[in-house]
Structure 1
Amino acid sequence: MNYTLNQLQIFLKVVKTQSVTKASEELHLTQPAVSIQLKNFQDQFEIPLTEVVGRKIYITDFGKEIAEAAENIINQVYAINYKTLAYKGQLSGRLKISVVSTGKYVMPYFLSDFMKQHSGVELLMDVTNKSKVVESLENNDVDFALVSILPAKLNIDKLDLLQNKLYLVGNLKTTFKNDVETKDVFNELPLIFREEGSGTRQTMEKFIENNNISALKKMELTSNEAVKQALLAGLGFSIMPLIGIKSELHNDELQIIPINGLPIKTMWSLIWLKEKKHSPVCLSFLDYLNKEKESIVQNTFSWYESY
């Protein structure tokens, strides 16, 4: 056996993503580079690690065992690095956070200075929809999660970071009267929805239900960016978080449509399992946030208050 740490990391990523293409994207490598290293790694075993059926890759039972061993090896390597840094008096370890998709406009600003202060901390941040974020927290796969709607069935602690405001948004080609009835507006507007499992969609549907609105559903898209591009193209309208459309508002590419009952206000909260035993890195991060969050909000999100 003559496999490398790089090959172990590539194989483990392929196993976790079930895709060479997705693995290459997450590793920031070309697809041919991942395929070559995967082949070189597999050629060292007499028993297949993967099987390709059609265009889909499957991991064999033997491959799953090798993946588990690979993960243990990689974790031990990280542990060696962390112990070295700790011996030198530096905070070290992993910080694992799962973030709802629109939260990518929020979380980096609460991480930036902390990561600069502690070069020995490795950040693993997964950006996905609300249902998967809650699942990763429930399975204890992450230390923290950033959500705008608190999960109802989990016993959690939380730290509120920033208010979340959602408005009805569209491009500038349609004009609206300020005294128009809410129901009348929605009867005429083709609405663009986020996918099932999205917190934004959940908030939007609750608003529609509470106001007895008959909405014209135009399409369903799987990311905030996709919805925003559809709005810019004039494909419809949507209820969107203000945090994700700063540039488009400032550049007069999108408009906020005045509607009674909007904005919907929720809260961006960092949450964690109540029984979670935090690592020194996590405790240090929470301490940092408690001290600095007000300053971060004031310095970074002051534009927010004008809406």
Structure 2
Amino acid sequence: MNYTLGQLRVFLKIAQTMSITKAADELHLTQPAVSIQLKNFQQQFDVPLIEIVNKKLYVTDFGKEIARSAEKILDEVHAINFRMHAHRGQLTGKLKLSVVSTGKYVAPYFVADFITSNPGIELLMDVTNKAQVVASLEKNEVDFSLVSVLPDKLRVEKVELMPNKLFVVGNGQQRFRKTPHDKSIFGSIPLIYREQGSGTRHVMEKYVLRNNLPVIKKMELTSNETVKQAVIAGLGYSIMPLIGIKNELENGQLQIIPVKGFPIKSNWYLIWLKGKPLSPVATAYLNYIKAEKDEVIAKRFGWCERY
């Protein structure tokens, strides 16, 4: 046997996600690179690790055994690394974050310098919709969550990070006047919604009901990126967070449609369970956020003030 830690890591992720494409995304590798690693790993065994049936990937019983062993080996490697950093007097451990889907445009900038300055810390970040983020927080599976809508039924502590603005958005080919439209415009522009459980949808629906807007619901899609591409393609309009459409606004693929009462304003928050004992890593991160958030905002998000 001559397998590498990289091959173990790749195969474990494939077994967890049941997909080469998803494994590549989560490992930040290309799909061909993951496929090559899998092929090289498989060549060291006479028994198949996976099977492809009707284009769907299945892990064999033998593959599941190997995946369990791979997880134990990688856990031991992490433990060795943590002990090495601890011996040097460095902060070690895992920082676990759950982030709402549109928060992926925000969260990396609020962790990058902290992780770079503390190489003994492993970052585990799960990006999903608001309902699942709140569920992971309630189950005490994470240290912190990043949300734009505070949970109703959980007692949490919070740090306000930065403003969140939502605008009415259309593709760059449509012509709209520059003076603000009144709410009657919603009777003529079909809206694309996010899925149930999305924080963006929650804010959008709350605003629509409060202002009795005459909306036409065009379709429902399951990610901010999918909504963005649908709007660019001319399939409809949407109410979207500014933070996720910077490039498309700058290159003319999207435009903000001026409407009275917009933008809808909320805030991004870092939250954690009230009364939760924080680990040394989580405590250090919270102190970092409180001390450095203003500098991160000025450096990375100053462009938001133009809108």
Question: What CA distance in whole angstroms lies between the structure 1 residues aligned with 2:64 and 2:109?
Answer: 37
Q: Does residue 293 of structure 1 match 2:293?
A: yes
Instruction: Return the offset for 1:228.
Output: 2.4
Question: What CA distance in whole angstroms lies between the structure 1 residues aligned with 2:43 and 2:137?
Answer: 35
> What letter corresponds to residue 119 of structure 2 in structure 1?
S
Structure 1 match to 2:36? 33
Contact 2:93 2:281 in 1 (8 A): yes
Structure 2 match to 1:93? 93
Q: Does residue 117 of structure 1 match 2:120?
A: no
Structure 2 match to 1:244? 244
Contact 2:10 2:38 in 1 (8 A): no
Question: What CA distance in whole angstroms lies between the structure 1 residues aligned with 2:37 and 2:152?
Answer: 41
Question: What CA distance in whole angstroms lies between the structure 1 residues aligned with 2:138 and 2:37?
Answer: 31
| 1:190-269 alignment, distance < 5 Å | 190-269=190-269
Gaps of 5+ in 1: none
Contact 1:7 1:41 in 2 (8 A): no
1:203-238 deviations in Å (ceiling 9; x for gaps): 112222222223222233332233223333333211
Q: SS of the counterpart of 2:186?
A: helix
Query: Relative to 1, partners in 2 of residues 1:199 and 1:38: Cα closer, same or farther, differing over 3 Å?
Result: farther
Question: What CA distance in whole angstroms lies between the structure 1 residues aligned with 2:7 and 2:247?
Answer: 41
Q: Provide TM-score, normalisation by structure 1.
A: 0.85
Instruction: Return the offset for 1:149.
Output: 1.0
| 1:135-146 alignment, distance < 5 Å | 135-146=135-146
Q: SS of the counterpart of 2:192?
A: strand
Report the aligned-residue RMSD: 2.8
Instruction: Return the offset for 1:90.
Output: 1.8
Contact 1:20 1:34 in 2 (8 A): no
Question: What CA distance in whole angstroms lies between the structure 2 residues aligned with 1:155 and 1:91?
Answer: 29
Query: Relative to 1, partners in 2 of residues 1:204 and 1:275: Cα closer, same or farther, differing over 3 Å?
Result: same
Q: Provide TM-score, normalisation by structure 2.
A: 0.85
Aligned length: 303
Query: Relative to 1, partners in 2 of residues 1:56 and 1:237: Cα closer, same or farther, differing over 3 Å?
Result: same
Contact 1:91 1:120 in 2 (8 A): yes
Question: What CA distance in whole angstroms lies between the structure 1 residues aligned with 2:178 and 2:85?
Answer: 62
Q: SS of the counterpart of 2:146?
A: strand
| 1:51-200 alignment, distance < 5 Å | 53-59=53-59, 67-172=67-172, 173-176=174-177, 178=179, 180-182=181-183, 184-200=184-200
Q: SS of the counterpart of 2:119?
A: coil
1:40-76 deviations in Å (ceiling 9; x for gaps): 47646xxx86665543334567765664454333222
Gaps of 5+ in 2: none
Question: What CA distance in whole angstroms lies between the structure 2 residues aligned with 1:95 and 1:32?
Answer: 29
Contact 2:129 2:199 in 1 (8 A): yes
Question: What CA distance in whole angstroms lies between the structure 2 residues aligned with 1:205 and 1:39?
Answer: 49
Q: Tell me which moved more, 71-80 or 127-136.
A: 127-136
1:76-119 deviations in Å (ceiling 9; x for gaps): 21011011011112222222222222112211221222223222
Instruction: Return the offset for 1:3.
Output: 5.9
> What letter corresponds to residue 117 of structure 1 in structure 2?
S
Q: SS of the counterpart of 1:197?
A: coil
